[in-house]
Amino acid sequence: MSEEKKNVNIWKSLQKVPAGTMFVPLIIGAIITTIGQGIFNVDIWATLGNPMKDMFSSSGQMLIIGLMLFFTGTGVKVSDLKSALGRSVPLIVVRLVVAYALCALYYVSFGFEGVFGIPFLAVACAITSANAALYMGIISPFGDEADKAGFGIMLICSMPLLPILFLGFYGTSGFGIAQVMQIIALLIPFILGMILGSLDADIRKVFAGGNATILPFLGFEFGSTINLFKALGMIPQGILLSIAYFVIVIGPSYFVERNILHRPGYISVASASLAGVALAIPAMAASSNAAFEPFVSSTIAILAFVLAITNVAAPFLVKAELQRHPADNMAK
């Protein structure tokens, strides 16, 4: 039997699923977490300890994200970055302005408790979030370097900084030098990679496939934040907020992307998934404002469901969008 026939082709099978190299490990990680925490009440990765813990649990997310920023930076030229700013910034600004305005309106209308069992805290954490890493995994097969360069900008906007600053207007005090340093820490690996890649073409070639190598690990780490039992316990609220998330997140930026930037629209759709870090924001907000404390548990459960459904749906929505508006027909 030839070596070709013996090969199981796991990698090729993963690539047949939209963003499969991240999505499939995410599902596996969620199942492992659900079995461990939901059935045996054990954090499997914490019990095993390092290096397993940092490889497959959320404790290693920032290392992987830092590597992704560096790898992405090595492939970015200044001209690509200018193009990314022209594409990404308008979409991000429109998206965030609409999201935060609606969050404020939601609070004014329904207070901290919210309506239909969806607290204000859950809305603020959800519709202001974007999973930049999943975005990178989705667009990698067909996006150009300018699309990929937008990863760093999107990642900065998806970190807890902006939501915590926003929640500060409602009694929190979470903004300070630590958040400023967080932005700087995110920029450094991206800029370092861009400088090295621009100075030496060989460096750009060496790290060209770096993101593809680490995406499965990031998928596992995102999956480790999802307890399917807890997510299913808030199904009605999760469904309602997921629908609202897609409408609010995709709608305005998609309109701008299609009608003003004259792009296919896949950037707006690919960025429509909740970031795993959003699940950490409720506790951060509650630590600064006791008014949020009664809503932390329900908010995390709702966000876990939204995280699951948006991360599952986003790759398929992008695939459908590309069928409607192929990337190879886009205006340059």
Confidence of residue 229 (pLDDT cuts 50, 70, 90): confident
Confidence of residue 156 (pLDDT cuts 50, 70, 90): low
pLDDT at residue 330, as a whole number = 47
Q: What's the average model confidence in pLDDT over 24-43?
A: 88
Lowest mean pLDDT among 45-54, 75-84, 111-120, 222-231: 75-84
* Percentage of residues in the chain having pLDDT higher than 90: 21
- Is residue 327 over pLDDT 70? no
Per-residue CA distances from 306 to 161, 195, 229, 239, 313 (Å): 20, 37, 13, 7, 10
End-to-end CA distance of the chain: 48
* Percentage of residues in the chain having pLDDT higher than 70: 80
39, 228 in Cβ contact below 8 A?
no
Confidence of residue 171 (pLDDT cuts 50, 70, 90): low
Average pLDDT over the chain, rounded to an integer: 81
Other Cβ atoms less than 10 A from the Cβ of 145: the count is 16
Confidence of residue 237 (pLDDT cuts 50, 70, 90): very high
> Helix, strand or coil for residue 109?
helix
Q: What's the average model confidence in pLDDT over 163-183?
A: 62
**Burial status of residue 97 (CB atoms within 10 A of its CB: 0-12, 13-18, 19 or more):** exposed
What's the pTM value of the predicted model, to 2 decimals? 0.69
- Is residue 175 over pLDDT 70? no
Which has more confidence, 3 or 324?
Answer: 324
113, 119 in Cβ contact below 8 A?
yes
Lowest mean pLDDT among 57-71, 106-120, 150-164, 301-315: 150-164
- The rounded distance, in Å, linking the Cα atoms of 45 and 141 is 31
Residues 6 or more apart from 320 whose CB is under 8 A from it?
none
pLDDT digits (tens, 9 = 90+) for 135-151: 777 776 666 666 666 67
Highest mean pLDDT among 99-103, 130-134, 169-173, 216-220: 99-103
Dihedral pair phi/psi, residue 30, rounded to 5°: -65, -40
Domains of the chain, first to last: 17-329 (1.20.1530.20)
Q: What's the average model confidence in pLDDT over 41-45?
A: 89
pLDDT digits (tens, 9 = 90+) for 80-89: 666 666 667 7
